[in-house]
Structure 1
Amino acid sequence: MLIVTPPCTLNYVFIDKPQEFDQGKPKYSVMILIDPEENLEFLKMLKIAFIDVAAKHFPSKKDVDIKFPLNFGGNTHPNDEYISTVFHLTARRNDRPKIVDANDNVLESPGGIYSGCVARVSFEILPYKVNGTYGLRCKLGAIQKISNGEKIGSSENATDDQFVEGLKSTPIDAYNAIETEQYVLPSQMSEDERAEYEERTAQLRAIQDNSIGGCLPSDEYDPDELPF
């Protein structure tokens, strides 16, 4: 499923050159910071999208702990002022993503994409299975730069997994509205929950053609993406 974000702040940007991740093949990547107070409805739709993909690829895994890519900064980066009050996810790909400006003109140089700039990002939600662990990940599609913003740290010296698990920061209403919505697969939903789920997934499919720079979902997985 293809997702296109609203304008969000980017962090841990590795677009100029790929970064090695978990001792694997180096990948180009960005962390997308999503403010729950500004983008509450998008976050709700995003969680529905994750559930939709999980339901299709793990239909019989009722008792399996499925790993979802959306995290709250207060849990993962409690001491980082830029991340501690927002949700975040990281999208990666093997080759450099397509980059366009606010008018959809292609930008040949990735130099204008940095930690702190505001951009829309497209990504695909894909399933994975590694050593008995089931989960979803985000394959980076394209980036549309919307505006400049205050630079955050140094992308070249940072990694998005260098922080230890921490306590949640003081919850905010918008955070509670998202965090308390559990990832429940359709087979476990009540009749009312299932009806709402089907309505939201229909809305998602209706807006999937809102691509960036003409980038649409790929028909095939990369060789290292563990298709099943």
Structure 2
Amino acid sequence: AIARRMTASKQTAPHFYVTVEVDMDEAMAWRARINEALGERGKISVNDLVVRAAALALREFPALRSSYQEGGIVRHEAIHIGIAVALEEGLITVVLRDADKKPLAQIARESKELVERARSGKVRPEDIEGSVFTVSNLGMYEVEHFIAIINPPEAAIMAVGSVREVPVVKNGQLTVGQRMKVTVSADHRVTDGAEVARFLQAFRRYLENPLLLLVE
């Protein structure tokens, strides 16, 4: 079923791809401080930051939370984010509902619960239905960069690589920075390259100024 859906997606949706590199220095330092403060109450993952930033950016770009159905474009108001989870039998997408309205700690808690249910074979119908945009993160496998196939009927999917230490130039000085590559695959029937680029600028703004993830 997964193979059929992905094949149909690639054959029917004209995919195009836009990649950006995100400066993660502030976000990683900020995440470390939050996790230290949380202690045993839970941890914020890099993917939780990505989901929150994507959800907030999607508020500004309704085309990226749309779908192409029966020859027309359908706009979705609720920002339900799909999170791709790799299982032995294949890929499943669990759905974090109203992700733009939830604080980071709640996103972290609900995401963990959804992934655990998926891996234990206990997903409920509402766990896997209704996503309008999907995040696929292979960073934990030390993957630098990849592109993903759109999860139909969505219009876009975000592929997230690992946070890497790389040489960067700051104020004329060579130093080491933490960077993450992100690629959005989008349906050209619904959006275009300039709009996806602006969406990624907004997404990057949230991660490079992580306090915005709290105040929005």
The TM tier, using the shorter chain, reads under 0.3
TM-score by length of 2: 0.26
Q: Which has the higher helix share?
A: 2
TM-score by length of 1: 0.25
